[in-house]
Structure 1
């Protein structure tokens, strides 16, 4: 079934594009969510009339996304996580975490546009692609560091208490100085 996209749909196409999809996908998903309309002769004629407006809107959006990509690439994000041996994280840094960090910097980005193959589970510096537009991808710089400041604060009172009572920290505690 041929449909005309009313909005950009990830991995499918951009607004105004006529595409061929299965009838069930069109009837049950694209059309009810107002992502597409059926490609009837009447709708195709309407799209031809609106084509200039659509192209202008696409160019404007592309320019805005390019500007946004430049601003995003100037920022680096640091995530502080607890890590165990061999610098493996307890937990991970996910695309939802990165989307939340972007939101705190004023960027409204859907977590689905952050192209992490799998969550980050080790310490280090990572380049994370963010697909803003089918033709524009920003590269975010993400630092994942060991959660040391919180560790120091947690262990300092234990160390002071240990010095006062004459005992040493238990073998399970690591004192960071």
Structure 2
């Protein structure tokens, strides 16, 4: 089925492009969400008449999204979840959980704006893309932990807290935090005081 795109769609095309898509994708996603029109002669003519206004509206929404993007980019959200001793979650973190966390941080986003490439099923720090506009995508960090204390430790380490496998000794967390602080100091060109 051929459609005319009314906004940029990732991996598909730009505004005004006539693309061929599967009928189900057009019927169930593009058309109901007003992201495209069927590529009939009448719709092509109507699109060309309204093209300037559609592009102006898109530019305005993009500029608003870029203003917000500067504030949202790099935001860290903490999600407390139950997990096994090996760090596997009982369940997973969904788009809605990320959207609720970003909203709690002070920026209202919709769950459909969260782009999860794969489900989050482990403890740790996970980068998550948020599409504020089809052309403005920012990254937030989801800190998934068992408790607030563990989340703070993961944030200091910059990675998930290592877990001991069955029959192994648990790693020394204080030593790991000290090594992370030393590595951070060396990266900034300072020498840590002993």
- By the TM > 0.5 criterion, same fold? yes
Matches within 5 A, 1:77-156: 77-104=77-104, 105-111=106-112, 113-147=113-147
Q: Tell me if structure 2 keeps the 8 A contact 1:83–1:147.
A: no
- After TM superposition, give the deviation of residue 98 of structure 1 in Å: 0.6
Residue 172 of structure 2 corresponds to: none
Residues 101, 39 of structure 1: CA spacing in aligned structure 2 closer, same or farther, 3 A cutoff?
Answer: same
Q: Distance in 1 between matches of 2:26 and 2:94?
A: 33
Indicate conservation of the 8 Å contact 1:93/1:119, yes or no. yes
Q: How does 1:53-64 map to 2 (within 5 A)?
A: 53-64=53-64
Q: TM-score, normalised by structure 1?
A: 0.64
SS at match of 1:137: strand
Residue aligning to 1:153: none
Aligned mates of 1:31, 1:76 — CA distance in 2? 32
How much does 1:52 deviate?
A: 1.2
TM-score with structure 2 setting the length? 0.60
Deviation digits for residues 23-52 of structure 1, max 9, x if unmatched?
Answer: x44884468637343333333222222111
Which protein is bigger by CA-based radius of gyration? 1
Q: Work out the number of aligned pairs and report it.
A: 147
> Which residue of structure 1 aligns with residue 163 of structure 2?
none
- Structure 2 segments unaligned to the other structure (5+ residues): 150-194
